[in-house]
């Protein structure tokens, strides 16, 4: 599946594939042509990806082949012992978590799960967690505090689930409690926005000592479509809203919300998932090594300072 702005690249790629196929069976040689096309592809893709609009970045962040939580777990963790249930109501699949050995680090890993196949997507509610998911995450984070395990939290959600049951069981309370209790966690909390950082549903597991973000991920107070339909009274103005909301990694780093941008391979994580996952692993491990040297007291203070600085009034 290619995105609109990727179509010119797709055309070149196809031509290269055709020539390569001919090279294999005919006694003609297209090596020169192929090399030229490959150079052309490189320049073209540099041009396309160097000036992605915020709306195009949203498309990449939501790309169907973008690596998801299970891919990160598979790629980075030699062991993952999933822990289930919120001990109140159920075992939401919009957020999962458990003990993980990430490279050489034992951690409590939590994150939004979107699902790959249609069955998985439905089970995970497309990454839109219910209160039970937020409560399960908080239970695991408290367990991490007890076992002195650092917490690694992967964010990738369109938002918290806007459903009848979710409201009845206290979506607002569940998120509010996580925000409050995460601020006092005595262990390092590393947050990574890997795809979509959808509003309250994202920050609900997003109170970290550091917040990392993949270069084509987005993080926003409201979806561009939602913002456009309210402020422009026209959902199709989403590209405008995406620009106005300043939701890209670079813009968020400027606003002091993101501490580090993890560079994706050219074309986005979906074009080379292994490289994106690897870079993410490197960044997480580096942060864990640094944060593990800091006292609990200082970790709590530093997290408080990080968030209280955002929106601090200056005049």
Residues that bind other proteins (CB under 8 A): 160-164, 166-173, 175-177, 179-184, 199-200, 203-204, 206-207, 219-222, 227, 230-234, 237, 241, 244-247, 252, 255, 257, 303-304, 307-308, 310-313, 315
Q: Which is nearer to other proteins, 205 or 277 (CB)?
A: 205
**Alpha carbon distances (Å) from 140 to 18, 56, 74, 134, 148:** 52, 35, 20, 10, 12
Q: Which is nearer to other proteins, 178 or 280 (CB)?
A: 178
Torsion on CA atoms 209, 296, 74, 119, rounded to nearest 10 = -70
Q: What is the smallest separation between the CB atom of 64 and other proteins, expressed in angstroms?
A: 21
Cα(7)–Cα(307) distance, integer angstroms: 41
> Phi/psi zone of residue 185: left (φ > 0), alpha (ψ -120 to 50 degrees), beta?
beta
Give phi and psi for 53, each to the nearest 5.
-80, 160
Cα(182)–Cα(239) distance, integer angstroms: 33
Q: Which is nearer to other proteins, 42 or 255 (CB)?
A: 255
Residue 247, helix vs strand vs coil:
coil
Q: Which is nearer to other proteins, 111 or 206 (CB)?
A: 206
Q: Which is nearer to other proteins, 16 or 151 (CB)?
A: 151
Cα(191)–Cα(178) distance, integer angstroms: 14
Q: What is the smallest separation between the CB atom of 83 and other proteins, expressed in angstroms?
A: 24
Cα(285)–Cα(190) distance, integer angstroms: 10
Cα(30)–Cα(19) distance, integer angstroms: 6
Q: What is the smallest separation between the CB atom of 206 and other proteins, expressed in angstroms?
A: 7
Q: What is the smallest separation between the CB atom of 129 and other proteins, expressed in angstroms?
A: 12
Q: What is the smallest separation between the CB atom of 70 and other proteins, expressed in angstroms?
A: 25
Q: Which is nearer to other proteins, 79 or 173 (CB)?
A: 173
Q: Which is nearer to other proteins, 105 or 194 (CB)?
A: 194
DSSP states of 12-75: HHHHHHHHHHHHHHSS---HHHHHHHHHHHHHHHHHHHHT--HHHHHHHHT-TTS--HHHHHHH
Q: What is the smallest separation between the CB atom of 26 and other proteins, expressed in angstroms?
A: 56
69-76 and 273-291 helices cross at what angle (nearest 10)? 70
Q: What is the smallest separation between the CB atom of 184 and other proteins, expressed in angstroms?
A: 5
Q: What is the smallest separation between the CB atom of 15 and other proteins, expressed in angstroms?
A: 41
> Phi/psi zone of residue 170: left (φ > 0), alpha (ψ -120 to 50 degrees), beta?
left
Of 137, 80, 69, which is closest to residue 103 (Cα–Cα)? Answer: 80
């Amino acid at each position: 599946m290619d995105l609109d702005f990727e179509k010119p690249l797709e055309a070149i790629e196809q031509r290269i594939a055709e020539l390569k196929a001919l090279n294999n069976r005919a006694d003609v040689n297209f090596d020169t042509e192929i090399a030229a096309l490959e150079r052309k592809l490189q320049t073209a893709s540099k041009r396309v990806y160097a000036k992605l609009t915020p709306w195009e970045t949203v498309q990449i962040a939501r790309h169907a082949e973008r690596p998801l939580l299970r891919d990160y777990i598979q790629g980075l963790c030699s062991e993952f012992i999933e822990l289930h249930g919120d001990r109140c109501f159920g075992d939401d699949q919009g957020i999962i978590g458990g003990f993980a050995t990430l490279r050489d680090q034992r951690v409590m890993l939590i994150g939004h799960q979107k699902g790959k196949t249609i069955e998985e997507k439905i089970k995970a509610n497309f990454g839109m967690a219910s209160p039970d998911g937020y409560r399960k995450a908080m239970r695991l984070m408290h367990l991490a505090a007890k076992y002195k395990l650092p917490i690694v939290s992967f964010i990738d959600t369109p938002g918290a689930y806007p459903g009848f049951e979710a409201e009845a069981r206290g979506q607002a309370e569940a998120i509010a409690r996580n925000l409050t209790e995460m601020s006092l966690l005595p262990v390092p909390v590393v947050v990574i926005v890997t795809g979509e950082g959808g509003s309250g549903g994202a920050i609900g597991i997003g109170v970290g000592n550091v917040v990392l973000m993949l270069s084509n991920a987005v993080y926003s107070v409201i979806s561009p479509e939602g913002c456009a339909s309210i402020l422009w009274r026209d959902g199709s103005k989403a590209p405008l809203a995406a620009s106005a909301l300043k939701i890209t990694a670079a813009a968020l780093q400027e606003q002091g919300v993101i501490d580090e941008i993890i560079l994706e391979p050219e074309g986005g994580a979906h074009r080379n998932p292994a490289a994106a996952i690897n870079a993410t692993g490197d960044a997480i491990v580096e942060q864990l090594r640094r944060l593990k040297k800091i006292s609990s007291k200082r970790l709590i203070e530093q997290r408080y300072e990080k968030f209280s600085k955002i929106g601090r009034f200056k005049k």
